[in-house]
Amino acid sequence: MKSCPTCNQTFTDLNLSFCIDDGTPLVLVAEPADETTVVSPSSGSRLSDPPPTEVYKPRDWQAPDYQPPGFQVAPGEPSKRKRWPWIVGTLAVLVISLIGLGIAAAMLIPNMKRATSNRNSSSPNVERSSDSNSSAPVSNSNIESTPENTNTLADEATATPPPTDKDVALAVLTDLEHEWTVANINADKQKLNRILADDYVGMSSDGKNQGKAEYLRTIERDTAIQKWEFEDLKVSLMGDRASLDGVIRLQLPDQEAAFRFTDKFVWRDGRWQAVGSEISRIK
């Protein structure tokens, strides 16, 4: 007979190893000895005493060590770990990344285009033709305060297209006229050489046409001009060519002189270069 040490339930089936209620290993319990009735023969009996009755004692049975049942997934049973949350999370991260890249591109590309446009439109183009009677930009200024020619950086943008905005072109050519005037007054041949195109043809002070080489050879410093200003400046754009019309007023020590001019420019090496100039005095 076996007994469960947990619930104290007894079992007579010796083949059982575990309690059928709680799974506890069963232990072997010794059965109480049977009280065997011995019949004594009468005194007159001739029979000899029977041999003593043997009490059956079953062999000791050793129950195997208890091992808790392990958990196993039955064949065909789906795994409890689900993969779809990971797939959905990965797709969500990719979508958010693509949206972020699209927003960044939408913000950066217009800024880059504007920066390129401003760089192109403000490329150095400042220089002027003819002698001290030539034209220059709208503003009263002393020779000492005239801005430097921004064409010093033009060689770095030889592939830059000409500006197509008239306001931008007018501002650039006006600065170029101011610098051209300063170069004429100071007889700055190095600066004039940069302002004038190699095929430049202009009008001299005596009304004759002259090329670039003669212009540079005959230019002389003029200290009589104290101030100048431009009036009625108008620009015409035709692709890579531009024409600037206007009036320049020169302040001399004892008088004022006004001249009407037309200067022509071509876009080369990323900057405006003068290719012609006509000027006539206003009486």
pLDDT of residue 25: 84
pLDDT bin (cut points 50, 70, 90) of residue 60 is: low
Tell me the CA distances in angstroms from 8 to 3, 4, 28, 86, 215, one per residue in order.
6, 5, 12, 51, 129
- Closest residue by Cα to residue 177 from 247, 257, 238: 247
pLDDT bin (cut points 50, 70, 90) of residue 85 is: confident
Q: Percent of the chain beyond pLDDT 70?
A: 64
pLDDT bin (cut points 50, 70, 90) of residue 130 is: very low
> Which of helix, strand or coil describes residue 28?
strand
24 by Cβ neighbours in 10 Å (0-12 / 13-18 / 19+) ranks as: middle
Q: Which residues contact 226 (CB under 8 A, 6 or more apart)?
A: 142, 251, 252, 253
199 by Cβ neighbours in 10 Å (0-12 / 13-18 / 19+) ranks as: exposed
Q: What is the pLDDT of residues 231-252, one digit of tens each?
A: 999 999 999 999 999 999 998 8
Mean pLDDT, the chain, rounded, equals 75
Whether this prediction's pTM lies above 0.75 is answered by no
Q: Which residue ranges form the domains of the chain, and what is each CATH number? A: 1-32+57-67 (no CATH), 128-282 (3.10.450.50)
Which strand (E) or helix (H) includes residue 166?
helix 166-186
In 48-125, which residue ranges form alpha helices assigned H by DSSP?
A: 84-121
pLDDT bin (cut points 50, 70, 90) of residue 18 is: confident
Using the predicted structure, report yes or no on whether residue 123 has a pLDDT greater than 50.
no
The encoded tokens of residue 86 equal: 């990971």
b/e sequence 40-53, b meaning 16+ C-beta within 10 Å = eeeeeeeeeeeeee
Using the predicted structure, report yes or no on whether residue 146 has a pLDDT greater than 70.
no
